[in-house]
């Protein structure tokens, strides 16, 4: 009987307090991991957007070249090759 009372009065609050602290730490860790993942995802989205913009610009140039009827087509193609950024 005394052992049961001791467990209820002392043991249970200690166990619950330790458990609650462990849960708070785990939750804080999960929040940090989610924040890191969000930052990484946003950075990749920005990289994809920049890459898509570069591809769209190249397609516009190719469309213009394909529909151009001018005699200086070869000169314009060579000029575009010279302007291409080196990666």
Instruction: Give, rounded to a whole angstrom, the gap between the first and last alpha carbons of the chain.
Output: 78
* pLDDT value for 69: 66
* Domains of the chain by residue range: 2-83
Burial class (CB in 10 A: 0-12, 13-18, 19+), 34: exposed
Residue 29: the pLDDT is 97
In this structure, the chain runs to a length of 87
Is 60 exceeded by the pLDDT of residue 87?
A: no
pTM of the model: 0.48
Q: 20-74, pLDDT tens digit by residue?
A: 999 999 999 999 999 999 999 999 999 999 999 999 999 998 888 777 766 567 7
At 54, list the tokens. 């570069």
Q: What angle do CA 53, 54, 56 make, to 5 degrees?
A: 65
């Amino acid at each position: 009987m005394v052992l049961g009372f001791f467990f209820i009065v002392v043991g249970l609050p200690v166990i619950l307090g330790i458990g609650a602290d462990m849960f708070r730490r785990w939750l804080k860790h999960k929040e940090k991991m989610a924040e890191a993942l969000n930052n990484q995802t946003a950075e990749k989205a920005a990289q994809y957007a920049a890459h898509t913009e570069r591809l769209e610009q190249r397609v516009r140039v190719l469309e213009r070249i394909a529909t151009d009827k001018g005699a200086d087509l070869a000169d314009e193609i060579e000029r575009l090759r010279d302007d291409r950024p080196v990666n």
